[in-house]
Amino acid sequence: VWGNCLSFIEDNITPQAYKTWFSPIKAVKLSDAALSIQVPSKFFYEWLEEHYVKILKVALTKELGETAKLVYVIKMENTYGNKQPFTERIPSEKPSNVGNQQVDVPVKHKDPELKNPFVIPGIRNVKIESQLNPRYNFESFLEGDSNRLARSAGLAVSNKPGGTSFNPLLVFGGVGLGKTHLAHAIGVQIKEHYPERTVLYISAEKFTQQYIESVKKNNRNDFIHFYQLIDVLIVDDIQLLSGKAGTQDVFFHIFNHLHQNGKQVILTSDKAPVDMQDIEQRLLSRFKWGLSAELQQPDFETRISIIKNKLFRDGVEMPEEIIEFLANNIKTNIRELEGAIISLIAHSSFNKREITLDLAKKIVDNYVKNTKREVSIDYIQKVVSDYFQMDVDTLQSKTRKRHIVQARQLAMFFAKKLTKASLASIGSQIGSRDHATVLHACKTVDNLASTDKQFRKFVEDLDKKLTM
Ligand code: ADP
Ligand code: MG
């Protein structure tokens, strides 16, 4: 079919034009009356659409009849991501404006049919590979108290992309708590409900690379244009835009365009917007336009169901005792939890050994040496005092100076969090206080950490120091 089209076209345009614009095209697929042709670049496609759409229409109609359709498969330039080779398009009746570029090779003689514009109803259909991982769906994203809000907001958005007040939807939370999984799940679900919508998942890192590349190649506008065609844009780990003014700027424009046009934006971040640093204020304020939903550490029940679900999917059985052991010891990161399970299964099958509690302990030790290793209350007091540049005696003293009280409360808080000591025992070791004082300290730290940014930073810093 394509061969016949080509001969027809060859007869109607100059040899030079034919060679430039038609020899590089490859026909890739014919299904019903739709012929897919592969072109080397987006620019190439635009040029064809601008200058040769009519002759293409005539040639195709001759071959395939009135219902003929042409689908462009654009071999994407690196600018738009390596893993993203295709943009498919059907030529529209309205050629895009290519400024004052000349038609260098006009059609030699006009066929009467050429007067009819290339009208295909309801088109300007862009298909961009979504980059979604179908395994990351809602079904495999187990629900628990820790993720209920984020999950249901995600579902709401999937049912009505762009049509809820959750725009953008910002999902934030610590490492390995399911941000990427949930982000994909939303995209996958939208594709299921609305297959015709253009969904794109991209990490902020890759977005940045693409942007830099586009600047180098002098096609920043193409870059922006590409993103403006998207109906649902999912950007993962936007905290990585911090300090990158150029990328933030371009993202700001894309964001505004999409938002104004009722397109859905979904973002993830490892921090709450208030804690994001080196992100422009105007961008931050937009992140807060919609809904920010946190993914928290899963509670024990959720951890158990995640483990069981994983085992079930892998067709592996494991004694209840070991499942509970895992759930009790790996709490802060679901990816680590999964890693430990895989490692456990691998060990037992390589060595042809039963999965025993002993083996589980060894493996968990490898996985969570950081968080697991029990720290002593003395050590905690030392680390906290060092951090605030005071000595341990001062920390323990009776003074009511605010910064010393805070340091003491932090020490109590971490003693509670990181050791198995009772409140009473913690109190007696940190400057002989009673258990009520310790309890009060823990509550105060919790409160301050959620309201005071500076204080939250103290908690995070200390947490890192103590658990590494
Ligand atoms: P993040 O992007 O927040 O670092 P990921 O989305 O990569 O975390 O999740 C880490 C792993 O944990 C993935 O394999 C993911 O499938 C799994 N996971 C996270 N949350 C859940 C959940 N609620 N149910 C089942 N699996 C989950
Ligand atoms: Mg992630």
Q: What is the DSSP string of 96-152?
A: PP-TT---SS--SS--GGGGS----TT---EEE-----TTSSTTTS---TTTHHHHH
Asked if residue 139 is part of any domain, the answer here is no
Examine the domain organization and report whether 153 and 289 are in the same domain: yes
Instruction: Say yes or no: CB of residue 338 within 6 Å of ligand 1.
Output: yes
What residues does 202 pair with on adjacent strands? 235
Q: Which residues of the chain have pLDDT under 70?
A: 43, 75-127, 368-374, 468
Task: Choose which residue among 146, 148, 181 to substitute to test ligand 1 binding: the one with the highest number of ligand atoms within 8 A of its C-beta.
Answer: 181
pTM: 0.59
Q: How many domains does the chain have?
A: 4
* Amino acid 62: pLDDT: 86
In terms of Cα–Cα distance, which of 275, 258, 274 is closest to 266? 258
3-class SS letters over 268-335: EECCCHHHCCCCCHHHHHHHCCCEEEEECCCCHHHHHHHHHHHHHHHCCCCCHHHHHHHHHHCCCCHH
Domain presence at residue 396: yes
H helix runs in 229-275, sequence order: 245-260
User: 385: Cβ–Cβ under 8 A, 6 or more apart, which residues?
Assistant: 391, 392, 394, 395, 407, 411
What is the per-residue pLDDT for 468?
64
pLDDT of residue 19: 81
Give the Å distance between the CA of 242 and the centre of ligand 2.
16
Ligand 1 centroid–CA 136 distance in Å is: 9
239 and 106 within one domain = no
Judgement on whether residues 229 and 346 belong to the same structural domain of the protein: no
Asked if residue 20 belongs to a known ligand binding site, the reply is: no
Query: Quick one: 318 and 430 in the same domain?
Result: no
Q: Are residues 226 and 314 in the same domain?
A: no
What is the structure's pLDDT at 93? Answer: 35
Backbone angles phi, psi at 366, to 5 degrees: -65, -35
Answer whether 181 contacts ligand 1 (Cβ < 6 A): yes
Q: Considering the domain boundaries, does residue 431 fall inside one?
A: yes
Last residue of a domain, one of 338, 372, 406: 372
Residue having the nearest C-alpha atom to atom 25 of ligand 1: 141
Ligand at minimal distance from the CA of 295 is 1
| 197 and 255 fall within a common domain | yes
CATH of the domain at 313: 1.10.8.60
Verify that 384 and 315 share a domain, yes or no.
no
Residue that finishes a domain, picked among 372, 395, 420: 372
- Are 254 and 269 members of one domain? yes
Q: Tell me if 104 is assigned to some domain.
A: yes
* ipTM exceeds 0.95: yes
The domain of 162 spans 148-295
The CATH number that applies at residue 446 is 1.10.1750.10
pLDDT for residue 374: 61
CB 19 within 8 A of CB 66: no
Mutate which of 146, 334, 341, 342 for ligand 1 pocket (most atoms within 8 A of beta carbon): 334
Task: State the pLDDT at residue 337.
Answer: 93
Statement to judge: residues 278 and 417 lie in one domain:
no
Q: What are phi and psi of 295, to 5 degrees?
A: -100, 115
287 lies in the same domain as 154: yes
Please indicate, yes or no, whether residues 182 and 214 belong to a single structural domain of this protein.
yes
Same domain, 282 and 156: yes
pLDDT at 82: 36
Q: Distance between CA 259 and CA 323 in Å, rounded?
A: 45
What is the CATH number for 54?
3.30.300.180
Please tell me the distance between residue 333's alpha carbon and the centre of ligand 1 in angstroms.
8
Q: Which of 239, 272, 295 is the last residue of a domain?
A: 295
pLDDT for 240 equals 95
Query: In CATH, what number is assigned to the domain containing residue 265?
Result: 3.40.50.300
Residue 123 lies in a domain: yes
Q: How far is the CA of 333 from the centre of ligand 2 (A)?
A: 11
Q: Is the CB of 176 under 6 A from ligand 1?
A: yes
Residue 142 lies in a domain: no
User: Is residue 143 in a domain?
Assistant: no
184's tokens: 């994909």
Assess whether the C-beta atom of 177 lies below 6 angstroms from ligand 1. yes
137 part of a folded domain: no
Angle, CA of 323, 327 and 331, to the nearest 5°: 160
